[in-house]
């Protein structure tokens, strides 16, 4: 005599098994996505930390001794301008003091821009006491080079030892923006 049990082993249906495996795959993909986003954002922070200074950082005063400033004022007449925007811009700034006049002469290799909407502008910076001001907008000469000439009173601008070139939108805002190149008179 055989007894037949009314108890059957309960086995999940194939549809439920597929649903569970699909849910497992989705969970794994979501976790991988979150890890990838975290990795991308943290690597972007490292790139940003390694990049050149922004105009805001350059225009923020740092502690510099008066002796260093005084030595730079008398010895430096030329500044090599280097690109800080990730391009291939370059340039040179020269300063001179003659007959009671202080002059700045700059020449740069900069990308072409829409001149109705934008302009390249140069700024002189002084660390102690902290100050900066615009020396004007670049124009192009007959050779297509970006140039700028500026004159001021001798002795008044000797402490300005850093040059910053910005890309400015012609919107009436007089604050610097769009840091393109920088250099120090050395």
Q: For residue 43, what pLDDT is reported?
A: 63
What average pLDDT does this structure show over 143-160? 89
For the chain, how many structural domains are there in total? Answer: 2
* Co-location of 177 and 109 in the same domain: yes
pTM score, whole prediction: 0.59
pLDDT of 21 higher than 60: yes
Separation CA 46–CA 36 (nearest Å): 15
The tens digit of pLDDT for each residue in 91-146 reads 999 998 877 788 999 999 999 999 999 999 999 999 888 899 999 999 999 988 99
The tens digit of pLDDT for each residue in 128-138 reads 888 999 999 99
* Co-location of 114 and 138 in the same domain: yes
pLDDT of 51 higher than 60: no
* Co-location of 153 and 118 in the same domain: yes
CB 174 within 8 A of CB 121: no
Separation CA 128–CA 72 (nearest Å): 12
Element (H, E) at 105: strand 101-109
CB 183 within 8 A of CB 81: yes
In which domain, by residue range, is 34 found? Answer: 12-50
């Amino acid at each position: 005599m055989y007894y037949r049990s009314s108890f059957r082993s309960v086995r999940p249906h194939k549809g439920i098994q597929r649903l569970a495996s699909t849910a497992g795959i989705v969970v794994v993909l979501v976790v991988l996505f979150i890890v990838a986003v975290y990795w991308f954002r943290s690597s972007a922070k490292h790139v940003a930390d390694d990049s050149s200074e922004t105009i805001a950082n350059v225009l923020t005063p740092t502690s510099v001794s008066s002796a260093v400033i005084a030595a730079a004022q008398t010895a430096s007449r030329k500044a090599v301008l280097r690109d800080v925007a990730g391009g291939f811009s370059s340039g040179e700034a020269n300063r001179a003091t003659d007959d009671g006049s202080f002059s700045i002469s700059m020449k740069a290799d900069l990308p072409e821009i829409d001149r109705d909407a934008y302009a390249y502008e140069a700024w002189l910076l002084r660390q102690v006491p902290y100050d900066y001001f615009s020396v004007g907008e670049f124009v192009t000469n007959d050779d297509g080079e970006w140039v700028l000439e500026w004159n001021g009173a001798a002795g008044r601008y000797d402490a300005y030892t850093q040059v910053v070139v910005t890309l400015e939108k012609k919107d009436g805002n007089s604050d610097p923006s769009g840091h393109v190149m920088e250099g120090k008179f050395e």
